[in-house]
Copies of this chain bind each other. A is one copy, B any other.
């Protein structure tokens, strides 16, 4: 095989607040040959997700930070270029965790073979991948929506939020979305079938949300934090469940989101309304993945779950893509077509 060049994007500087393009740098490196038990991958698609902001920080979180000078992490869809692993053959398309680079070596442990005939392979990064599974496991295991209850989720046009609302509808609940701008809200109601969707830029968001949830809120799937949480909190019913999978509105605040001094008030309400707040990472529910692939795959085939992708071209655009994602500029699951 001819010598290949691996184009890579590295973390250059730990961002303060919102990341800047100069927090990243790119380089080129030779592509090593796979050793016995390894495969060489050619990355086709790179997933951009809010959690990557956490990996850029030194702060302790549920996963290790990316080291300065190392390749940025990320879920990817890749093609096997060369294999010395018994389970993978040249030409296989796999889900991998290869990060922001055009080529990678894997020992196979992080790979899952994809069937391009069953679903577009990009869905393995979105509705049929980690974000979709986050929605599925968090909503069904923690949120447990009952028929007639009201489920609220923000970033409702994104891969997690759209999954949450559509699964809530399948379970007989009302789904109220929150999204950035008219176009997203229209999509959420008209295409995804939510009962309502509110623009989080609206100065009267709290009042609009109250009007959209006349029976209060039974499940708030928390993926944004910030002022949406402020609007949601007073409307939470007794025994409300709050799965917490992300706080994107707070990731870029240094110091964090400057809400009023409400912690003691919050704990009083946790008590007086028997609230159930539960942070989670989808991998905790790994044993539910087979059920997820089966059920979500079927819901998509039946047209009961729809999804939207926002695909940008070229690895070089990954930094601007991630920055835009953190500002809510994407519309649907953000994926970089690497090559």
Report the nearest B residue to A250, measured CB to CB.
B264
What is the CA–CA distance of A254 and B338 in the complex, to the nearest angstrom? 58
A261 contacts which of B261, B271, B274 (Cβ < 8 Å)? B261
Within 8 A of B (CB), among A215-258: 222, 225, 229, 238-239, 244-247, 250, 253, 256-258
Give how many copies assemble into the complex. Answer: 2
A256 contacts which of B54, B257, B268 (Cβ < 8 Å)? B268
Whether the pair A244, B270 counts as a contact (CB closer than 8 A) is yes
Chain B interface: which of A160-168, A203-211, A279-287? A279-287
A278 contacts which of B229, B263, B276 (Cβ < 8 Å)? B276
Is A262 an interface residue when CB atoms closer than 8 A count as contact?
A: yes
Whether the pair B264, A274 counts as a contact (CB closer than 8 A) is no
Q: Across the interface, which residues of B come within 8 angstroms of A269, CB to CB? A: 279
Q: Across the interface, which residues of B come within 8 angstroms of A257, CB to CB? A: 264
Whether the pair B259, A263 counts as a contact (CB closer than 8 A) is yes
Whether the pair A275, B279 counts as a contact (CB closer than 8 A) is yes
Given A62-B238, A238-B62, is A273 in contact with B279 using a C-beta cutoff of 8 Å? Answer: yes
Whether the pair B247, A256 counts as a contact (CB closer than 8 A) is no
A267 contacts which of B244, B267, B274 (Cβ < 8 Å)? B244
Is A118 an interface residue when CB atoms closer than 8 A count as contact?
A: no
What is the CA–CA distance of A81 and B239 in the complex, to the nearest angstrom? 40
Report the minimum CB–CB distance from A209 to chain B (whole Å): 18
Given A225-B267, A229-B267, A267-B247, is A62 in contact with B272 using a C-beta cutoff of 8 Å? Answer: yes
Q: Across the interface, which residues of B come within 8 angstroms of A264, CB to CB? A: 225, 247, 250, 253, 256-259
Contacts A250-B267, A260-B261, A276-B277 aside, 17 further interface pairs with beta carbons under 8 A come to: A60-B272, A62-B238, A62-B271, A62-B273, A229-B267, A245-B271, A247-B267, A247-B268, A256-B268, A258-B261, A259-B261, A259-B264, A261-B263, A262-B263, A263-B266, A275-B279, A276-B278
